[in-house]
C-alpha cells in the first residue's frame, strides 16, 4: 500500500449527480442502523440518516456501476494492491438537517465475521452541491484529504475500509452521497 486514499474531483458531472439523486429518491428509504447481521441496531446518538439500496444488477444503473467499478480498479492499482473479488452493494444516503443527519467515527470492515470476505475498499461519492447544505463534512483519519475538495459535487474518495471516518451533523439543507465497498478475501 502506498497511499491512504485516492481522490478524483468531478469524477461525476453535476448532471450525473442530479440523475442519481432523482432516481435514488424513488427507492423506498429506511432508517440507517449501526452494526451488522444480528448486531444491527438503531442508535440515533451515533448515526442519523436515511438509506436506500441501489440494486447492483439493475440495468438502469449499469452506467453508474461501470463507472464505479473502473474507479475502484484504478484506485486499487494506484495505491492499495489489495486482493479484490467483487462489489455488490451501493448505498444512497441522505443526511438531512431536519434531524441533524450524521454518522460518528467508524470503520467499514467487520473484523469478527464468519464470512470469508472483508470489505477491503470503501468509496464515497459526493452527490450534493456544497451550496445546498451546511455541515455534513466527511472526515477521514490518517492524512485526511482537503475538506474543500471532498465537498465538491461529483468527487469520489476511495480508501481502505479499515480507515476510521465520519460525517459531521448537517445543520442546513440535505447532503446526498453514495457509498459502496469492494470485497476481497479476509485481511491476514
- Boundaries of every domain in the chain: 6-33+49-142+151-185
Q: What is the pLDDT of residues 40-91, one digit of tens each?
A: 777 788 899 999 999 888 999 999 999 999 999 999 999 999 999 999 889 9
Q: How many angstroms separate the CA atoms of 22 and 136, rounded? A: 20
Strands 30-31, 50-54: pairing kind: antiparallel
Predicted confidence at residue 72, as pLDDT, reads 98
Whole-number pLDDT of residue 126:
98
Rounded Cα distance, 99 and 29, in Å: 15
What is the per-residue pLDDT for 38? 58
Tell me what pLDDT residue 41 has. Answer: 77
pLDDT of residue 39: 67
Q: Average pLDDT, whole number, for the chain?
A: 94
Determine the CATH number of domain 6-33+49-142+151-185.
Answer: 2.60.120.620
Residues of the chain with pLDDT under 70: 36-39
Q: What is the structure's pLDDT at 36?
A: 65
Cell (9 digits) for 119? 470489505
Q: Which residues contact 28 (CB under 8 A, 6 or more apart)?
A: 52
106, three cell numbers: 467508524
SS3 112: coil
Distance of alpha carbon 157 from alpha carbon 179, whole angstroms: 10
Structure confidence at residue 113 (pLDDT): 74
Residue pair 56/91 in contact by the 8 Å Cβ criterion: no
Amino acid at each position: 500500500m502506498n497511499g491512504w486514499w485516492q481522490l478524483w474531483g468531478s469524477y461525476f458531472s453535476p448532471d450525473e449527480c442530479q440523475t442519481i439523486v432523482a432516481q435514488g429518491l424513488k427507492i423506498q428509504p429506511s432508517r440507517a442502523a449501526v452494526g451488522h447481521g444480528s448486531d444491527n441496531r438503531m442508535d440515533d446518538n451515533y448515526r442519523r440518516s436515511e438509506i436506500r439500496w441501489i440494486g447492483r444488477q439493475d440495468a438502469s444503473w449499469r452506467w453508474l456501476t461501470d463507472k464505479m467499478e473502473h474507479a475502484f480498479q484504478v484506485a486499487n492499482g494506484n495505491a492499495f494492491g489489495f486482493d479484490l473479488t467483487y462489489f455488490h452493494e451501493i448505498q444512497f444516503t441522505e443526511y438531512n438537517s431536519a434531524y441533524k443527519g450524521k454518522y460518528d467515527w467508524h470503520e467499514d470492515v467487520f473484523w469478527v465475521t464468519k464470512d470469508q470476505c472483508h470489505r477491503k475498499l470503501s468509496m464515497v461519492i459526493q452527490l450534493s452541491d456544497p451550496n445546498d447544505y451546511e455541515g455534513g463534512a466527511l472526515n477521514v483519519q490518517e492524512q485526511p484529504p482537503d475538506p474543500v475538495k471532498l465537498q465538491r459535487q461529483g468527487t469520489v474518495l476511495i480508501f481502505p475500509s479499515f480507515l476510521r471516518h465520519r460525517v459531521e451533523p448537517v445543520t442546513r439543507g440535505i447532503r446526498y452521497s453514495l457509498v459502496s465497498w469492494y470485497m476481497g478475501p479476509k485481511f491476514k
